Structure 1
Amino acid sequence: MKALIRWGGLGGSLLIAVAAYLGGSPFARGTTVTPGTLLAGKQGVLLPLCWIVGLTALSCAWWFGRRHIPSTRWALVTAGLWLVPVLPMLPLGSEDIYSYACQGFVQQAGGDPYGGGVQAFGCPWLDSVSTTWRTSPAPYGPLFLLLAGGVVGLSDTLPGVIAGLRVIALLGLAVLAAGLPVLARHSGRDAGRVVFTVLGCPLILIHLVSGAHNDALMVGLLVAGLALLATARTPALGASSRGSALAASARGSALAASARGSALAASSRTTVFLLVAAGALLGLAVAVKATAIVVLPFAVLAAVPPSSPLRALVRPAAWIGAGALGAVAVVSLLSGRGVGWVGGLLRSGDTVAWTSPSTAVGLVVELGARLVGVPVAAVPVTRLLGILVLAVVLVWLWWRARSGEALACAGLALAATVLCAPVFHPWYAVWPLAVLAATRPESRLLLGLCAFAGTLTLPAGYNWALFTKIPGAVAVTAVLVVLATLAVRMRRTRKVTA
């Protein structure tokens, strides 16, 4: 079974690599493969056949293979093996990597990526960038811009820059691979299964490695920071106290008190160091993508025992906050750009698709209004309502996390952020997957959504959600209505039985 999982998945990866070679996201705009042209051109049926069969084989190996993982090492080797075939090929799933390249060019050239789009700075690869993002400011943090600028400084060719951006993504995945087993063992999960579930997910291969999305770096830093917090909570003091008790019986109470005090001081210094280091890693994640900030309040709760009083949060909040703010300040200073990426986030909702629930509801409202002859712009309103719902959910999750499972609630906070955001891209599903797989019992719903998200794009980056905007919006809204109805009925049932 192990051989079938490993080599079956690799076979799927090889077919996906062939699809990337034949019809990945091209260097020049205007040759994108859309549903209407998928069977046309020199590729014939080979391109869609390789893509569909390869994605199916990889997804099946991932879905069924997670039940048969012999060790963490085996999971790491297998997932790594699957990633190799796409490395020399064209990017898959989106054209964002070309935006990264031009933003890195602007940063390296001394321009301000937050001051406007890459179109105004003479990027030599502008023809590769989607027209949607040519005039948009960079929505990413200063750490990623520093890294992208450094890649451009090392290579003045587009293939070289793509290779460098993929190296950054692989480094992020390496950090993720180091943190996952620690987080899994702390939460009582099987480390090998967790590593395979996350790193073997098709979204990793398609979007985080081939597409080189900076989410790989952000998620890696998040998981590493949470893993350090789990380490900080490891009870080392008990052993020190037992050692002090032995010292007491052997050397007398005065010497025992001194030993106990030294142990407490050493333990306190270690804990402070771990809290600051964890905060720094989480701050660096925020310096890649600002949305990572939703994890910080839960990180503070993870640093104290469950049900601790609010006053007990002050010290860990100070140390974690100092680490996070210090890390952001350092990279902001090094980049020379400050916190200008916050303004760039205002343009991150330019894409309108049903994959965002709040956007789907707005599209349905607009459709209904047009049918009765009263056109309205409902999408901005429903998106704002989605943000308000997110704020309420985050506060509720934080209060719930005070009684325990702070790390798991951090993953739920990421899931809520993904679901309530104005825009959903398939690779966003990796955010909650990485944390929840390591901290909560396995959720088939989450894994199913990740598998579905992997099918949303064509090799060249065309998103099916744009082709099925209205039918998809109606379907998503109907699902939301059904779920809301079931929730109300379950609540009434509980009241009656109570």
Structure 2
Amino acid sequence: MTEPGARLSRYGGLAGAILLTVAGYLGGALPDAPLGATPVSIWRAPGGPATLTCWLIGTALLVGAWWSLRAGAPSGRWAYVTAGLWILPLLVAPPLGSRDVYSYACQGWTYARGVDPYAVPVAAAGCPWLDAVAPIWRDTPAPYGPVFVLLAALAVGVGGGLTGTVVALRVIAVAGLLLAAFCLPGLARAAGVPTRRAAWLALAAPVIGVHLVGGAHNDAVMLGLLLCGLLVAIRRPGRPAALLVAGALLGLAVTVKATAVVVTPFAALAAVHGRHTVRALLRDGGWLAGGLLAAPLVTSALSGLGFGWVGGLTRSGDSEQWTSPPTAVGLVVDYVGALAGRDPQAVPVVRAVALLLLAVLLVVLWCRAWRDLRASGDPALARRWSGPGSSARPWVTLHGAGLALAATVTLSPVFHPWYATWPLALLALTATRTTWFLLPAGAATFLALPDGTNLARFTKAPGAVAMTALVLFLLLRIRHHGHQRSPAGHDRARTWL
């Protein structure tokens, strides 16, 4: 894009961020905002039309400006400055798009009072800020690892009251985002892609600013630790001390959000120095695994919480929303069954099948990465490699990890807009075709209203039908693509999307 066009995108996105901040003050997820609101009730509330208008126009401006430069910003520095400009207004906005930050605050308060948040829900613990917490999280145990519970307790101690705690939690989220931003240039160089492209796609994405900064979600901390661990492993393969550090960083990411665990098998591939053999994988991957296991063991022991957080993960799928493809398919089966006078109860069944499929897919992705890494180390086969950059190794591991996170988001029982941030950074570093993951990430930004109202709740039936139709369409496309592929199979490694 020409310089005037890039400048228009920069300031158009900034105007969008300012409008979102205004919408937050007019009707954001404030502690005393009414719960259980609907789009109609928000519109009829005082200032409702202004709130929704600012939110819609602001989101459209941000998404449009980001999308217009999806091929890459004019420079890496330009991308960082622009992403920072867009984030600045959101730093002073009330919580946006979700009330989860109040759950974090109450879980931190519970732990700070000597109560186990994995055994005692925040309602039973007597959190003084309970009225601000979404009802679904008042009687459920904390689903986050001990590292984040410790951070939440730190935020409570520093912040004192609710407002100060929310500010401290946002500072923690921004710190995680800054760590990710610090690691992106090194990962981009390793993957052989320009920083101006990777930084723009990963940092300027509206879902990052609105939800990781505005919503202060702990996903920012997970991503920062994840990218840092991968960078250390890629830069220092085969070095025991470095791999222990890399493993510890990845382990800390897991103890913020367990989703990070799907990346660790690919990090083990990045840890290998020299040719990829089973012996080398056991040798170098073993050091990384040592750090990976040590982090949750040490933090669980030091926090005194043990592994109770693992049990809390089972409650994350309590809600049923069509934004999760398996849930949408299950809902449509239930709707069809109801028309026939039956009650199939298909949602849990389809979700279980999707998780089994996810497990198989993760193994396939890892085996494919292993195969390509072994091929890239063989001089006779290296000529067939068409991956970007001077080395195939970082690209293969990072892209495999990105696809693993994308598969996890797609096949999980629940999807919230900020989940789109998980694969975004890694795919921004590696994917040669971007529309397939940028489009959902942009669309996800529109799914939540500023007060945390999830639009998926009010479009359950039509949304489920539309998502199921999309799943069927994509399956047919994949089948058609599979029939057209060359039987050689390994002609080009960049058929990895």
2:357 to 380, 389, 406: 389
Show the counterpart of 1:239.
none
Measured in 1, the distance between the counterparts of 2:56 and 2:146 equals 37
Aligned-pair distance for 1:34?
2.2
2:340 is aligned with 1:355: no
Aligned-pair distance for 1:9?
1.2
* Aligned CA distance change for structure 1 residues 348 and 371 (closer, same or farther; 3 Å): same
Matches within 5 A, 1:124-143: 124-143=128-147
* Aligned CA distance change for structure 1 residues 75 and 342 (closer, same or farther; 3 Å): same
Where 2:226 maps in the other structure, the secondary structure is helix
* Aligned CA distance change for structure 1 residues 300 and 68 (closer, same or farther; 3 Å): closer
2:99 is aligned with 1:108: no
Aligned-pair distance for 1:32?
5.6
Aligned-pair distance for 1:332?
1.4
Show the counterpart of 2:308.
340
CA deviations 1:24-83 (Å, max 9, x no partner) are 012035256521123212214211111111111111111113445233222222111111
Show the counterpart of 1:309.
277
Measured in 2, the distance between the counterparts of 1:175 and 1:364 equals 42
Measured in 1, the distance between the counterparts of 2:317 and 2:279 equals 38
Measured in 2, the distance between the counterparts of 1:68 and 1:481 equals 32
**% identical aligned pairs:** 50
Measured in 2, the distance between the counterparts of 1:36 and 1:401 equals 49
Show the counterpart of 1:30.
34
Aligned-pair distance for 1:457?
0.7
Tell whether the 8 Å contact from 1:29 to 1:130 is kept in structure 2 after alignment: no
* Aligned CA distance change for structure 1 residues 8 and 492 (closer, same or farther; 3 Å): closer
Query: What is the total number of aligned residue pairs between the two structures?
Result: 462
* Aligned CA distance change for structure 1 residues 44 and 296 (closer, same or farther; 3 Å): closer
Aligned residue identity for 2:192: G
CA deviations 1:223-264 (Å, max 9, x no partner) are 11111122124xxxxxxxxxxxxxxxxxxxxxxxxxxxxxxx
Measured in 2, the distance between the counterparts of 1:67 and 1:489 equals 28
* Aligned CA distance change for structure 1 residues 497 and 410 (closer, same or farther; 3 Å): closer
Aligned-pair distance for 1:278?
0.9
Tell whether the 8 Å contact from 1:359 to 1:382 is kept in structure 2 after alignment: yes
2:429 is aligned with 1:438: yes
Matches within 5 A, 1:164-203: 164-203=168-207
TM-score, normalised on structure 1? 0.89
Tell whether the 8 Å contact from 2:272 to 2:285 is kept in structure 1 after alignment: no
Where 1:465 maps in the other structure, the secondary structure is helix
TM-score, normalised on structure 2? 0.90
Tell whether the 8 Å contact from 1:25 to 1:32 is kept in structure 2 after alignment: no
Measured in 2, the distance between the counterparts of 1:496 and 1:292 equals 34
* Aligned CA distance change for structure 1 residues 426 and 306 (closer, same or farther; 3 Å): farther
* Aligned CA distance change for structure 1 residues 495 and 451 (closer, same or farther; 3 Å): closer
Show the counterpart of 1:262.
none
Unaligned runs of 5+ in 1: 234-267
Show the counterpart of 1:449.
440
Show the counterpart of 1:378.
346
Show the counterpart of 1:461.
452
Aligned residue identity for 1:437: A
1:278 to 232, 246, 249: 246
Tell whether the 8 Å contact from 1:26 to 1:32 is kept in structure 2 after alignment: no
Show the counterpart of 2:412.
421
Show the counterpart of 1:243.
none
Tell whether the 8 Å contact from 1:66 to 1:196 is kept in structure 2 after alignment: yes
CA RMSD of superposed structures (Å):
1.8
Measured in 1, the distance between the counterparts of 2:107 and 2:449 equals 24
Measured in 2, the distance between the counterparts of 1:276 and 1:204 equals 30
CA deviations 1:321-376 (Å, max 9, x no partner) are 11111222222122111121110001000110011111011101111111100112
Show the counterpart of 2:335.
367
Where 1:39 maps in the other structure, the secondary structure is helix
Show the counterpart of 1:218.
222
